[in-house]
Amino acid sequence: MTVLKVLVYPEKSLLQPSVKVDNIDDELRQLIDNMGETMFDAPGVGLAAPQVGINKRVIVYDVNARSKEDDETPEIKEEFRALINPEIISASGSTVSKEEGCLSVLDYNADVKRYEKVSIRALNLEGRKLEFNVEGIPAIIMQHEIDHLDGILFIDRISVLKRAMYKKKINKQLKNQ
């Protein structure tokens, strides 16, 4: 497996919607393995294909992701799952993702309003249709990663003022390079 380069904001391709996957082949399986390796190396709890420069509707996520309050539990084996062409088919409740971050949005975390529960429809690696419900941290991860597939970053879901402050900070860093 290979650790891939994670693209970072303000990379314009992160803001483009991804295309549907029509064929699950060995090339896609290799991409998914590399994405899993990259996610854990970063370290992160989810990764979308656009974040590694591939404009396809594919995400991977850590099946053992926990909240910060649960971090004192013993280490859990790294295990990820992939979803192909995932979509949110229903959502309910309201929660705030405390200090949500992103591998493509460096040095910034923010509280983001998300749904508490979501129902997901996707394909697995074998091309079988899945439908399942998640809540809590997994629901937040699903919403965050599916947003990436739609060209939306979590900073697009925060206040205009906070987003402007972050963009100003990044532009300043880029000028000083």
Q: Which residues are catalytic?
A: 145
Mark residue 85 as left, alpha or beta (left: phi above 0; alpha: psi -120 to 50; beta: remaining). Answer: left
Give the span between the Cα atoms of 138 and 151, in whole angstroms. Answer: 20
Q: Which residues pair with 46 in a beta bridge?
A: 61
Give the span between the Cα atoms of 172 and 39, in whole angstroms. Answer: 28
Coil, helix or strand at residue 108: strand
Please tell me what DSSP assigns to residue 6. Answer: P
Give every CB contact of residue 93 below 8 A, 6+ residues apart in sequence: 115, 116, 117, 135
